[in-house]
Structure 1
Amino acid sequence: MLIGATPESNKELVTVCGGYRESTESWLEVLRDLKERNMASPNLCIGDGALCFWKAIREVYPEAEHQRSGQNSKERAAKRQIPDP
């Protein structure tokens, strides 16, 4: 399942499909299908550590930015542990 967000921050279901989460070929099939249906490149892709997804997104939408889920919250939590000068 892929979920997108509009510029107004509304969540929208992009696609639901079968496949193997840890399969680059499965992700390539999904992303190529979306591209063939004229889905523009995402501005930002956020996901977990599924390396196959990241490999596929770089191939199909190389211009998309990438961010691991939880990355910002982990960085903010780490910064809170550092005392101000």
Structure 2
Amino acid sequence: MTRFVALGAFALAVGCSAPAENNPGLTSMTIKNGTVKGTYNPSGWTSQEIRKDINAGACAGRGVASYAEVAQPNGLISYTATCA
């Protein structure tokens, strides 16, 4: 499985057009006003991997101050984080 992360713009590309719940590599991330929001497929990502990516990218040098997840009806996980 290949995952592509463009940390500069936090645009995460997915290599196919399958529905989200059928794509284990699915992840997305946006940053607005100091808040990081996104969605990932738990079949291909763990919470720890997502937090590590946020810590290394959006919160580089500052660390993650808060992180919360919510399971969605389609099986994906939505998350929100803020940097310290």
Do both share a fold (TM > 0.5)? no
Greater CA radius of gyration, 1 or 2? 1
TM-score after normalising by structure 1: 0.30
Question: Larger relative contact order (C-alpha < 8 A, sep ≥ 6)?
Answer: 2
Q: Comparing both structures, which one devotes a greater share of its residues to strand? A: 2
